[in-house]
Amino acid sequence: MCMKNPAFSRRYTLACALAAMGTLPLGASACSSEPTVGDVCIVAMNWCPRMYVPADGSLLPISQYQGLFSLIVTSYGGDGRTTFAVPDLRGRAPVGTGTGANPALPTVTFAQKLGQPAAALSPAQLPLHSHGATFVPTLADTPLIIPAQPGNLSVKANLPVAASATGALGGTTVALGGGQNGYLSAIKGASGVDDVTFTGPYTTQDPGTGSALLPARVEVSGSPALAATTVQVKAVNGGAVTVLPGGGVTTPAPLPTQAPSLGMTYCIAAQGLYPERP
């Protein structure tokens, strides 16, 4: 122990101060030789020093570690009657409790376990993208009803006329429906300024073989009437859609979230000075 003595030089006094500082704890992560019960520290070997036990979640007997039990009770496990558990820091890193800020962080409660070494992304976390797809249809005979259509056929006949009168002789056009009879008396022509009237029937029926034919130009226009018809056609009545994978594996692996780390041994002081609650 350094004593104050005016005969001592300033250099000796500084040496005493440095020696005294060397007896202080080396930091929160170092294991002290005079620990406070409940202290947590890290060592580079795979075992804990005297007065410490591994912080590996082990169950300890309350009767043997009453001081440590009185501090942490069953916060980390145990039945609270004969056993209690120490913190399990295997593969875990301790973080401060409470709600962090700047930026805002999730609230961490005392003895809460959180985080995971890997996470599988959900569809809501994926960027907008597209996938190819195939469709295999199923076909079946399906009746197709074609409704009836009304007809609108018409016949126009240009009949030549002749007369002994001098001058050009013009004719008119006869419009007849299918199966209708026309009469020459309804046909009018003209020879110069004189009207020409025809007599006799005119029919749409073909004349008999060898009959004399009237040199006439007949035009048929329009469309015939059609009855309702039902036909069978192949139609798609279902099928299967297959969405193709989008350029990756069918079952993607979880995304690692573990930061680069080094495995060491966490210890907790089971003996030592009992802490005073402020």
Model pLDDT for residues 139-192, shown as the tens digit of each residue: 999 999 999 988 887 766 666 554 444 444 445 555 555 555 555 555 566 555
Threshold 0.75, pTM exceeds = no
**Most confident listed range (25-34, 182-191, 220-229):** 220-229
**Maximal CA-CA distance, the chain:** 172
- Nearest residue to 192 (alpha-carbon basis) of 230, 163, 215, 219: 163
Looking up tokens 């079952």 gives: 251
110 is written with which tokens? 């005392």
Looking up tokens 């297959």 gives: 242
Burial class for 25, CB neighbours closer than 10 Å (0-12, 13-18, 19+): middle
User: How many beta carbons lie within 10 A of that of residue 190, not counting itself?
Assistant: 17
- Give the pLDDT score at 123: 77
**Alpha helices per DSSP H over 36-172:** 66-72
pLDDT, one tens digit per residue, over 225-273 is 889 999 999 999 899 999 877 666 667 788 888 889 999 999 999 999 9
132 is written with which tokens? 């190819």
User: How many beta carbons lie within 10 A of that of residue 84, not counting itself?
Assistant: 23
